[in-house]
Structure 1
Amino acid sequence: MASVIRVTGAWTGLLKDWLDQQGLDAGSLRLELARRAAQDNVPVDVWRRMLAEGLALTPGRPAPELEVGACVTPSHVGVLGYLVLATDTLGEAMLAYQRYETLFYGTSLVQIEMMETEAEIRWPPSDNELGQQADGAAIAALVTFLRRQIDHPPPPSAICFLHEVEPESAGAYEAFFGCPVTWNDSHVRVRFPLRYLSLPMPRRDPTLRRLLDRQARAMLQALPQGTEADQQMQRVVLRMLSDGEPTLARAAAAMHMSPRTLQRRLAPHGLSWQQWLDRSREQLAHQYLEDESLTLADIALLLGFSEQSAFNRAYRRWTGRSPGRDRRQAVAKG
């Protein structure tokens, strides 16, 4: 497993943003970070080294890796930022992360367990593990990201790490997370009271709001002058696209109606279900191609295609052009 673990180039932007926040020059480290494009794959040992090099610039400060994690924005998590938009609750957000973690680490490590009164999201140790600094930054980013999506966010009930830190840093961890932190555990763990999973995700983060607005504009172009019921259908389709199964039967079931009723709802627009789905995908594709943090494979996933080649064929059918060509043009204009 160790050979496939990596992080994305977008994730290393956390360290760059922290260096900016602290006003640290960091010389050659900044040059190395600048060479990492968002879509690059960065081996975990390289990320671990760069993070340690950056944190060493603030000697004596307890647990600066938590400050790095607290810099997180949707741009650092790439496609997962878009997937969060499709979730309505904290529980759904956790499951979305579990489904698509492989986009982030190159493999699926996370485990989710529902206990009697708590939910636990955990990661087992591996031969080429991240190490305490990188684990600390990652869990700080996860908790910070969720805090920004929830009104009056409650703290986790417990957090566990594989390794131990100095007592001063241990105190900084407990103060940051607002809950007991356990060391030398068999897994990295984050626990929440089970009732937290139903907390709504109002998407208060400004960057996520902009992404949501872009998706809404794209869907509006697919179904102009839509009614409130049509907007409900658009939200359902966005959620199904992220699941990869945007079928008429599933959409109808999610809206508590028969497939025939859903088809009738589209009839005034002169569209069949498949025609509207294709139009929605095309408009969303144009929006996603403008985001350099998304690879073509990411975009294929967001649009509900099983593989990039299927997206490429569909895009050519819609536009007569390749998505790669339109991506280059969008980047050049930007």
Structure 2
Amino acid sequence: MAAVIRVTGAWVGLLMDWLDREGLEAKALRVAVERWSSEETVPVPVWRNLLDQAVELAPGHLAPELAIGRGVMPGHVGALGYLALASDTLGEAMLAYQRYENLFYGVNLAQVSVEGSEVEIRWPREGNELGQRADGVGIAALVTFMRRQLDNPPPPSSISFMEGVAPGAAMAYEQFFECPVRWHDSHVRVRFPVSYLTQPMLSRDPALRVLLDRQAQALVRALPSDSAMDRQLQQVLLRLLAEGEPTLARASAAMHMSPRTLQRRLAGHGLSWQQWLDRSREQLASQYLQDPALSLSDVALLLGFSEQSAFTRAFRRWTATSPGRFRQSVRPLRSPAR
């Protein structure tokens, strides 16, 4: 049976933030959004209905879905916000999105290809039940994220959607994206210069910086040192965890040293590689479990475990309690979603 597309509860929180920015009371919609934003998964029909209700509250806006998407923050995309931080370049972040899109939609739909001097990321019609408004929110969020990470970013080369909008809204789309927008295509497409891919991730976004600081603090507790090499090791670990392969061999290769040299470095702190890996995972897990935007399966993935059950067994070994009970016992961090 084909996988069913859905969105996350954290993503639905975009609507609450938009209502706040617009100063809209919308009591009934706020109650519904609050109810669904606490869920790990939200069916697409529910998301479309909530989005339609929001759009109806803004009759003076030609394309309010773009303003909703423009408000995206890392807390709205859950694990993908953290995975972006493990990327050195925008190209790596795009590949991380493609690899882990199923965390967000429940399926992998995105396709990335290089077309001459341009890169295209596209989503096919088959399996996409989102509709134009939801697609507009998603693409506005994607382009906003890219703009925040680049210095003086050029606009996308072109954008395509599978449905159409009224002429006034079409003009609003072109003004927002600052590029030609095509309608009634076979795919949703975003094209941009291939030079985007080598741009370093700047993390100028204050909310991204909050996540980065939390990760850094957790890793410092695992390896309390302020040397440049140890900070490099901490950043290498985040990338390896995101890739699901946190091994000594891969870490030493990424740091351009032999495994023996890295082992000696850790031995200077009284740690073996496995001890440091376990300690780092424990500290990161304690942080991630306080973020309500992350499901337990998200946390397991961020820590480099292939299955949630493996994470649960490891967490019990570290703390003598389950991840679920730990989450219930701590006060949640305010997710950087606003």
**What range is the shorter-chain TM-score in?**
over 0.9
> d(CA) in 2 for partners of 1:236 and 1:333?
25
1:151-170 → structure 2 map (5 Å cutoff)? 151-170=151-170
2:7 maps to amino acid = V
Contact 1:150 1:203 in 2 (8 A): no
Q: Is the 8 A contact 2:292 2:332 kept in 1?
A: no
Report the TM-score, using the length of structure 2 for normalisation.
0.95
AA matched with 1:286: S
* Length, aligned pairs only: 334
Taking a change above 3 Å as real, the CA distance of residues 332 and 224 of structure 1, as seen in their structure-2 partners, is: closer
Following superposition, the deviation at residue 319 of structure 1 comes to 1.5
Name the CA distance, whole Å, in 1 between partners of 2:228 and 2:57: 54
Summarize the Cα distance change of 1:38–1:218 in structure 2 as closer, same or farther, 3 Å threshold: same
Q: TM-score under structure 1 normalisation?
A: 0.96
Q: 1:2 to 1:56 in 2, by over 3 A?
A: farther
CA contact (8 A) 2:119 2:192 kept: yes
Instruction: State the partner residue of 1:55.
Output: 55
The amino acid that maps onto 1:122 is R
User: Residue 290 of structure 1: SS of its match in structure 2?
Assistant: coil
Cα distance between partner residues in 2 of 1:126 and 1:19: 32
Residue in structure 1 matched with residue 7 of structure 2 by the alignment: 7
Q: Secondary structure at the match of 1:269?
A: coil
Alignment root-mean-square deviation, CA: 1.6
Q: Which residue of 2 aligns with 1:124?
A: 124
Deviations 1:261-299 (A, max 9, x none): 211221211111111111110111111111111111111
CA distance in 1, matches of 2:207, 2:180: 31
Q: Are 1:123 and 1:189, in contact at CA under 8 Å, matched by a contact in 2? A: yes
1:96-175 aligned within 5 A: 96-126=96-126, 129-175=129-175
Q: Which moved more, 1:323-332 or 1:91-100?
A: 323-332
Distance of aligned partners of 1:115 and 1:332 in 2 relative to their CA distance in 1, 3 Å threshold: closer
Deviation per residue, 1:115-167 (Å, 9 max, x gap): 22111111001355211111011100111122122222221111110011111
State the shift of 1:60 in Å. 4.4
CA–CA distance in structure 2, aligned partners of residues 332 and 233 of structure 1: 28
Query: In structure 2, what residue type is equivalent to 1:37?
Result: S
Aligned to 2:192, what secondary structure does the other structure show?
strand
Q: What is aligned with 2:208?
A: 208
The more displaced of 75-84 and 143-152 is 143-152
Name the residue aligned to 1:260.
260
Q: Is the 8 A contact 2:290 2:333 kept in 1?
A: no
Aligned equivalent of 2:95: 95
Letter in 2 for 1:323: P
- Aligned to 1:250, what secondary structure does the other structure show? helix
Q: Distance in 2 between matches of 1:332 and 1:228?
A: 31
The answer on whether the counterparts of 2:98 and 2:111 sit within 8 Å (CA) in structure 1 is yes
Aligned match of 1:70: 70
One-letter code aligned to 2:160: C
Gaps of at least 5 residues in structure 2 are none
Identical pairs, percent? 65
